[in-house]
Amino acid sequence: MVKLMTSYVCGDADEPLIYETIGNYFDNIVERFPANNALIIPYQNIHWTYKKFQQEVNRLATGLLNLGIAKGDRVGIWGPNSVEWCLTQFATAKIGAIMVCINPAYRVYELEYALKKVECKAIITAESFKSSQYLRMLQDVAPEMSSQLAECLQLASFPQLEMIIRMGSDKTSGMLNFDDVCKLGSQEDYDELAKLKNILTPDDAINIQFTSGTTGTPKGATLTHCNIINNAYLSAKAMRFDETDKLCIPVPLYHCFGMVLGTLLCVTTGSTAVFPSAAFDPKETLKTIEQQGCTALHGVPTMFITELELPDFSKYNLSSLRTGIMAGASCPEEVMKRVMQDMNMKHILIGYGQTEVSPLNHITRPDDSVVQRIETVGRVVPRIEVKIADSEGRVVIVGEKGEICTRGYSVMLGYWNDEEKTKETIDEAGWLHSGDIGVMDEDGYVRVVGRTKDMVIRGGENIYPREVEEFLFTHPKIQDVQVFGIPDNTMGEALCAWIKVQSDECMEAAEVKAFCDNKVAHFKVPQYIKFVEHYPMTVTGKVQKFKMREEMIASLEV
């Protein structure tokens, strides 16, 4: 391997990119593997082959065409993981509609924001989930729908929204039923579906993913067929996946992790997507792995930690597991070792990226060392350029810190209807600026050490919270830690740490500060320390430091 001098690399590739629409690629996979299992969803009694999956996708696609949904129309999908979600993903791709992923945890205000931002023509919604009463929320913001024709709504709150398609068998005034829509397709609609195979292009926008809101108002990252099908396929190759594999997917479909690295990844290889539950449930996840013989499992570190900490963890037979992707946050060393040993996932991979790059730009390899999987996010994925750049966009030398920037096929078209934010993120040369601070070594492995917006400036000293977090992780009593800055009248900013201790341990702030004494620079020692059991998080398991900061500022009245 050639040793790098500067922090720039382009991912090697041994085959060309897939330049095809998702619908056409899906149909080709069905021709190759018609009898392979495509979807297994035990809680919905779904056990479909690829041929059956294709038939059901086409039924929904033609039903949507019959309702007047056309290329470029935005169709929202709101609800937890389900067969309806999977059908919507591929049916909208086949007709060229843009699927808009709406966070299942959204409430009325957030729902209104999302629907209006992208001007959805239709929304496909679950009836309810946990404390979210989806239909009731829609009725609250648009009470006039109950007296209107379900096929052509005219709603004051949502002037572009023409139809609401509800899941389930019950009837609701002003709403269409999902199963009924699947029955609407005529021969004319099937003929139109066939024509679209030669009309849609790989560069068409196909999906809008709202960023998960770790830093404030979500933005609608707009992705193409080419963006996500290649990221899915190349991730499958990194996992050494083929048509004999079964992937357990407990991560949410509304996010790229579930939708791209889950269902689409399986489709690119003719393998099986297995959904253990509507939302993450550690017991159901392990039970499903055992019952279905899953060979791979995805998750964020907190999911793996929860599974490992189940009192009856040892009763589950996980010997079928081999690989999977862990992403979304850094993984403590002890957790990684247990995942590899106790869960039999010797080839577990660490993935890193963001929604705006479809979503991975780095991944480890199955033969990478444990240290490389713990301390780095791996190397660049094939056919993607990555540089570590200074504030002027210049590449820094190997070993220096800078912003991680990406250029290539996976970069989004932009933020929907937000040219200003797009220009702030993608520069004139096509580089997407992640906001993450990284360090690249001479072999191309990257460590993420913080975020540009997370950087704390205390008395003129630049502090990267990730550095402090990694040091505090080494204390045997600390299970997890999040470090951030809050305003300080004297020093500009003060360092704050929220700490989770191991379940059988107790700890005091003085002990944390004593641990830091003479081991790290004085300005890196947290001034404020809070012990917590939970962090504010997004549905996908990303910590929301801005909420922690707000809470800390309020409690200290700074």
Beta-sheet pairing, 384-389 with 401-408: antiparallel
Phi-psi group of 194: left, alpha or beta (phi > 0 → left; psi -120 to 50 → alpha; rest → beta): alpha
Please provide the average confidence, as pLDDT, over all residues in the chain.
Answer: 93
pLDDT tens by residue, 466-498? 878 988 989 999 999 999 999 887 777 899 999
Residue 7: pLDDT above 60?
Answer: yes
For residues 320 and 289, is the Cβ–Cβ distance under 8 A? yes
Cα gap 547→545, rounded to integer Å: 5
Residue 215 has pLDDT above 70, yes or no: no
Reported confidence tier of residue 217, pLDDT bands at 50, 70, 90: low
| CA-based R_g, the chain, Å | 24
- Decide if pLDDT at 30 tops 80: yes
Query: Is 137 a residue whose pLDDT tops 70?
Result: yes
Q: Does residue 174 carry a pLDDT above 90?
A: yes
- Find out whether 115 and 89 touch, Cβ atoms under 8 Å: no
Q: How confident is the model at residue 250 (pLDDT cuts 50, 70, 90)?
A: very high
Task: Of 236, 249, 258, 255, give the one whose Cα is nearest residue 281.
Answer: 249
pLDDT band at residue 214 using 50, 70 and 90 as cut-offs: very low
The structural domains of the chain, ordered by start, are 48-210 (3.40.50.980), 457-556 (3.30.300.30)
- What are 174's two structure tokens? 């002003």
Q: Helix or strand or coil: residue 295?
A: coil
Interval 507-517 mean pLDDT: 94
Task: Convert the pLDDT of each residue in 283-336 to its tens digit.
Answer: 999 999 999 999 999 998 889 989 999 999 999 999 999 999 999 777 778 889
Provide the 10 A C-beta neighbour count for residue 301. Answer: 20
Average pLDDT rounded to a whole number, residues 82-107: 95
Residue in 419, 403, 359 with CA at minimum distance from that of residue 384: 359
The model's confidence at residue 203, banded by pLDDT at 50, 70 and 90, is very high
More confident call, 547 vs 178: 178
